[in-house]
Amino acid sequence: MHQRMKPLISLFGLALLSLGACSSSKHAARNGLGGQGGSFAGGAGVAASGTPDAGINAAASGAGGSLGTAGTLGAAGVGGIDAGGTGAAGAAGAAGQGGAGGAGGTGTDAGAAGTADSGTRMLKKFVGNITTQGQVRSDFDMYWDQITPENEGKWGSVEGTRNQMNWSGLDRVHDYAVAHGIVFKQHNFVWGAQQPGWLAGLSAADQKAEVEEWIRLFCERYPDVALIDVVNEPPPHTMPVYMNALGGAGASGYDWIVQAFKWSRQYCPHAILILNDYNNIEYGNDNSHFIDIVTKIKNAGAPIDAIGAQAHAAHSIADSTVKGYLDKLAATGLPIYITEYDIDLASDSAQQQVMQSQMTMFWNDNDIKGITLWGYIVGATWQTNSGLMTSTSTKRPAMSWLMTFLGR
C-alpha cells in the first residue's frame, strides 16, 4: 500500500560566510555555515583541547571532558516550539559528544530536549513542512519551524545529466532555512525512485563511485544540514538499481544500506541520519520488517541515528494501533521522526478531528523528536484532500486548530 512516486539548524554565532551561486560543476563547494534557528546545544566553553567546530558543536574533546564553565543552552536543546527557558549544559561523555539540555517551557510549548550522539546535532522538537511545487512560500516560517525539499533534494533532480549538478532548488530551501532560523532536512540520498536514469548504464564500480560522490558533494555544499533521509523506502518497497554495487545483501542482508550510512556519517558527520519508510506505524508486517532492517544494519555497524515514519496512512488507522507500532519502533532505542504526515480527508470536520487526536499524540510522545507534514496548500499536495490552507491563506479547520495548539 502506498507504493508510489511523489511529485516531482540558531547555530551559535556564525553568520553565513558565503552562500555561493548555483553551479553546474560537480566540484563547486558551498562554503558558509548559516545561523540556523536555535537548533544546537552550545557550551560557553570547551574542555581540555576541544574546540568548537565552526559553531556546529561546542563539544568536549577527550574522554570524560566537561563542557567549559557551565555552558548554557540557547534556543536549541530546550523544549518546545518556543523555547521556554534554558537548561544547564550537561557533562560531556565520550569525545565529541555534548551535554543534553534541560526541558523548558510549559504546556504545549514544553518539548523534550534533543539528544546528541557522536557529535550529531541536538534539535528542539519541531513541526515542519515541505516546499510547495518547487518553491518556498513567503509565509512558510509563519507556520513551520522545519523545512524539507519535496523533490529538490532527490538525486534525479540534482544530477539529471551526469556531472552536471543543478543545486538551485536545494539552495533556495537551504538559504531560506538559514535566513529564517529553521531546521533544514535533506530528503533524500538513496532511494529506488527518482534517481538519475544514467546510473543504469554504468558498471558496478562506477555506480558505487557516483553514489559516494553524490553524498560527498551534497555534504560539502550543505555542511550544516540537520537531518538526512539516508535511505528512503528500503526493500521490498523500492530497490535502487545500484544496490548490488554498494554491497548488495552481504552478511547483514542489507550491506548496501550500511554502506550508504557510513558514507553519510563520513561526509556529513553532524547530521542526524535516518532510515525512512512508509507503513511502519500503520501495519504489523511492515512494522516488524522495518524493525528487522534496523536491527540488522545496527548490528552491522551502520551509524543510524533515528527512524523515519512517513505516516501517510496513519490518519486512517486507530490511534491506539499507531501508538502501539510507535512503541515497537522506540524499543529499538532510536528516536523517531514523523516525516511525511498528511490527512487526506475532504471533510473539514473529519480532518480536524484526526489532526487534533494524532498531532496531540505525536507531540506528547517523548520518543518522537519532530514532525514534518507533507504539504499544506490546497491543490498543491501529493494527496488530493490533504491541503490545510488555500493559496490565499484561508485555513481549513485542521490548520486553525494546529496553529492554536502550537501557539503560532
First to last CA, the chain: 34
Catalytic residue, from 150, 159, 282, 340: name it.
340
210 is annotated as an active-site residue: no
Find out whether 206 and 200 touch, Cβ atoms under 8 Å.
no
In degrees, rounded to 5, the angle at the alpha carbon of residue 93 between the alpha carbons of residues 87 and 97 is 75
- Which residues face 368 on adjacent strands? 336
DSSP 3-state of 128: strand
DSSP code for 378 = T
Collapsing DSSP to helix, strand or coil, 328 comes out as helix
340 catalytic? Reply is yes
Nearest alpha-carbon partner for 341 in 316, 315, 367: 315
The torsion of the CA quartet 145, 150, 154, 157, rounded to 10 degrees, works out to: -120
- Burial class of residue 138, CB neighbours in 10 A (0-12, 13-18, 19+): exposed
Q: How far apart are CA 105 and CA 354, in angstroms?
A: 26
SS3 35: coil
From 152, 159, 210, 233, the catalytic residue: 233
* Phi, psi angles (nearest 5°) of residue 193: -145, 160
- The C-alpha cell of 92 is what? 560531556
Distance of CA 192 to the CA centre of its chain: 19
The residues assigned a catalytic role are 233, 340
